[in-house]
Amino acid sequence: MLFYLIAAIVLILDQTTKWIVRTHMELGEILPSWSPHMRFEYYENSGAAFSSFQGYGKYFAIVAVVFVAAIFYYRRQGAIRGPLLEAASGFLVGGAVGNGIDRVIYHQVTDFLVFGSRGGIMNLADLAINAGGILILVYLLLDHFRPKTARGRL
């Protein structure tokens, strides 16, 4: 249940914030918000992370579908269990689906969050994917230091 709840919340928040940016900001517009730590800047990314592979974003929609299918497969097999992995996979799936929707509908991803003066531009789906990755690292570290009889129960 935690998996579905987090994935749904991430997806709804991501798509809502992207819609707000697309309808209330001009492309390239910058709104200072928590200067110098964060600002809103409307950007459309037709590539991947760090604006790499510009114009090939539609292929990353396929990667997102395969990734989400793999998560569901491993959940069904019982490999993803426990609240930490459920939360991590929920963040990962919500983020992948959020960006995947953009890639399928708009052939690019709406980005609008810039952290710091040299930070890359992101969106909530990207933040969720990062959160999911961090939770997996936390799980791996905690599991490594647990007694062998208790491993895999986080």
Judged by phi (left if over 0) then psi (alpha if -120 to 50, else beta), residue 87 lies in alpha
Judged by phi (left if over 0) then psi (alpha if -120 to 50, else beta), residue 55 lies in left
Catalytic site positions: 111, 126
Q: How far apart are CA 1 and CA 88, in angstroms?
A: 13
DSSP bridge partners of 43: 111
Tokens of 104: 């399928």
User: Does residue 32 have a cis peptide bond before it, meaning omega lies within 30 degrees of 0?
Assistant: no
